[in-house]
Amino acid sequence: MKTLLTIILDLDGVLITTPNWKPDEIDTDGYSKFNENCITHLNKLLDSWTCEIFLSSSRRTSKSIHDFNQIFEHRKITNPIKEFIPIYKNCKNRKEELLQFIKDRNISNFLILDDDKSLNDLPSNHKNRLVLTELHKGFNNDKLIEAMKKLGSKS
């Protein structure tokens, strides 16, 4: 039986790899295009575990869960988004949001996929579950291998 894994997912720099100086390419569904290779690697990760995806992207404020799940389905991402990370009024940045979310939900088996360099300041027991991507490369094969190693799986 596969262990339940909580994936805390950002979009920009993970699945959307458009340089910030360029406008997003728009897919046929009217939303920003995702990098096909990054989708392939994410699906390999999702196929290896029983996963719940929580969206941490700042884009979560622009659409509903239903809208994002339609976007994920259109892009053939194998798991839907379960929920958005809440927007905590007392949190000043992504790091604080993630720490608060993990604490509130008492989550122990998680993986953070994000390109936010401030997450390097996470406590070590959280940082060892961070796969820090690069904006233009996203969740590429190297990052998939890193994720599988962090989770104790063979890639």
Kindly state the tokens that stand for 152: 């104790």
Query: Cα–Cα distance between 61 and 98 in angstroms, integer?
Result: 16
Q: Name the more confident of 142 and 3.
A: 142
Is residue 20 very low, low, confident or very high in pLDDT (cuts 50, 70, 90)? Answer: confident
Query: Is position 18 within any domain?
Result: no
Nearest to 122 by CA among 146, 102, 99: 99
Q: Which residues pair with 25 in a beta bridge?
A: none
pLDDT at position 16 over 80 = yes
Query: Is position 16 within any domain?
Result: no
Query: Is position 8 within any domain?
Result: no
Q: What average pLDDT does range 114-142 have in this prediction? A: 96
Q: What average pLDDT does range 127-153 have in this prediction? A: 95
pLDDT tens digits, residue range 30-78?
999 999 999 999 999 999 999 999 999 999 999 999 999 999 999 999 9
pLDDT at position 2 over 90 = no
Cα 89 to Cα 84, 86, 96, 100, 118, distances in angstroms: 15, 9, 11, 11, 19
Query: Is position 107 within any domain?
Result: yes
Is residue 153 very low, low, confident or very high in pLDDT (cuts 50, 70, 90)? Answer: low
Query: Is position 35 within any domain?
Result: yes
For the chain, what is the domain count? 1
Q: Taking the model in full, what pTM does it have?
A: 0.94
pLDDT tens digits, residue range 73-84?
999 999 999 999
Query: Is position 31 within any domain?
Result: yes
Query: Is position 39 within any domain?
Result: yes
Query: Is position 7 within any domain?
Result: no
List the domain range (segments joined by +) for residue 71: 27-50+57-114+123-151
pLDDT tens digits, residue range 91-109?
999 999 999 999 999 999 9
